[in-house]
Structure 1
Amino acid sequence: MKPTAFDRVLMAAAIVLAILWMLPLLWVFALSLKSNAVLMERTDAIFTTPFTLRNYADILANSAVFRWVLNSCVVAGVQTLLVLLLSSLAGYGFARCEFRGKRVVFALVLAGLAVPEPAVVIPLHRFFAELGLHNSYAGLILPRLAAPFGVFLMTQFFKALPRELEEAALMDNASRWTIFWRVILPLTLPAQATLGIFSFLAAWNDYLWPLISATRPEMYTLTLGLASTQTNFAQSEGLGFLMAQAVFAALPVLVLYAFFQRHIVAAVSGGRPA
């Protein structure tokens, strides 16, 4: 089918918006390739040579950086997997199982969406301090496993699936767990991908809770570790180094997107990867 004039206008508008969206990213990347001394002398220095990788070398010179990357990978990966598992189990229970107080419990779960994070920081800190879980992977992961949005998303997705699938499996004497694991769960891959993307990004970029729970440098996540290397005058005297830190922190997410691009697009569009 030949594209119409309206289709061309939409495509042109999409290209312009994409370029505008990319400009801040390109600006940050260009600043990260300039020395701090040059940036202090000229505001238009990003458009001229020379370029340097010194800012990235300074980041890698800190031997703790690779430990911070490992911590972020462990925390974000395990947290994402557990959020997917718990949200799927809870969502299936709310969508398919009947029990006393179901509506009240579901309302309480949704009420968690309205609770601001700073309101629970102090109770969480005291609770994990008494358990001795600060400066540990468990202390960094467990508080983020309560995912009301994930439970709501999976509940609505399970409700949209036809009950005839489960009834047919029950007639074949399949257990409830077998039905969930082998019949229903594979059909929720689009919702799983969507929730997994949001959960991983939230865990990777999390700063507030690691700042509270991780007080030892060896337990810092990447965002917290890079922030700890900044000076009080980072924005004026170390702008190039600051931008290099931003690029370095975002690089693993960009690599992840490159490998799972088809799944991410399918998740956002509500379909299946081609």
Structure 2
Amino acid sequence: MAVLSKKNRSFSPDKLTSNRALFWIAAVFAIVMIAPALWVLGLSFKDNTLLMRGSEAVFSAPYTLKNYTDLFHSSLVFRWFLNSMVVAVGQTVGVLTLSSLAGYAFARLEFPFRKTIFVIVLFGLAVPEQAVIIARHQMFSWLNMHNSYLGLMLPGMSSAFGVFLMTQFFRAIPKEIDEAALLDNTPRFRIFWKVLLPLTMPAQATLGIFTFLLAWNDYWWPLISATKKDMYTLTIGIASSQRNFAQTEGLGFLAAQAVFASLPVIIVYIFFQRNIVTAVSGGAVK
């Protein structure tokens, strides 16, 4: 009887009403957030001549795939896609590698001025990118690294947030694990690579997702560093198409480019969303 009464209290009408209210509030916010994406998706399936009369044509038939087939006739779009993929993947790998090594060093190793250096790294979170853009541009010009993949990737590899995140995760792992491995004369790097690094996979997945997203959508630095069309990333390429060919190509074609550009980010999130939820809920620490 006591068990039944507890169950009845857990499914009380007040609690059920509260859950339904929260559900509908969340549903409304979700619709508001997804509405612009659905609008762009609808535009991408409309004929450009119909959209010239008014964008409200998106709500009625007919629909067409012509805007997507036109993408295959533009070789630059796929070149821009390749550039974005190389830059985003390379930058993500670089951030994960450097942040993991730095986080392990700050959390586990003792070396001179460790706390001071960590504070200096955290200062990077407070310095906006625009404050150093002139010095960065001059440095990369001197090194002749503009219009290159390495020039597009290197600035994004220094992630103060990534170092802070990985440091906190390594600190949350009990030090008894290291001590047990050291008793077996296990080298430091092997402890890092074989024992501790696998425990931080949820944090790395989260950091990797955010890094890939920022690198894929980055507009500011590629706009400055990439001056040749064949080195444009997808964001710069789409912007240049909108500026120069919006009247001839049409709104539907630009929407199709935007949908095409967003597909990799959506696919990556779908595959790694479980790791993000685990990291946010603190499952990695447990």
Q: Is the 8 A contact 2:209 2:269 kept in 1?
A: no
1:8 matched to 2:2: no
Equivalent residues of 1:222, 1:249 under 8 A apart: yes
Does the aligned pair in 2 maintain the 1:91–1:151 contact within 8 Å?
A: yes
The equivalences for 1:211-250 within 5 A come to 211-231=223-243, 234=246, 238-250=250-262
Q: Which residue of 1 aligns with 2:283?
A: 271
Is the Cα–Cα contact under 8 Å of residues 113 and 148 in structure 1 kept in the other structure? yes
Alpha carbons 1:40, 1:237 under 8 Å: kept: no
Structure 1 gaps of 5+ residues are none
Is 1:21 equivalent to 2:33 in the alignment?
A: yes
RMSD: 2.1
Equivalence for 2:197: 185
- Deviation of the 1:28 alpha carbon: 1.3
The one-character-per-residue Cα deviations of 1:120-170 (angstroms, maximum 9, x if unpaired) are 111111111111111111111111111000001111111111111101111
CA distance in 2, matches of 1:10, 1:236: 46
State the 1:102 CA deviation.
Answer: 1.5
In 1, Cα distance between the equivalents of 2:183 and 2:225? 50
Q: Which has the larger radius of gyration?
A: 2
Gaps of 5+ in 2: 1-6
**Of 75, 78, 82, which residue of structure 1 is paired with 2:90?**
78
Aligned pair count?
272
Whether the aligned pair in 2 keeps the contact of 1:40 and 1:236 (CA below 8 Å) is no
Shift of residue 79 of structure 1? 0.9
Identity %: 61
C-alpha separation between the residues in 2 aligned to 1:36 and 1:185? 51
Q: State how 1:118-157 maps to structure 2 within 5 Å.
A: 118-157=130-169
Instruction: With the length of structure 1 as denominator, give the TM-score of the two structures.
Output: 0.91
Residue identity in the other structure for 1:100: P
Tell me if structure 2 keeps the 8 A contact 1:235–1:242: no
Q: 1:258 aligns with which of 270, 273, 279?
A: 270
* Correspondence 1:207 to 2:222: no
Aligned residue number for residue 180 of structure 2: 168
Is the 2:121–2:160 Cα contact (8 Å) retained in structure 1? yes
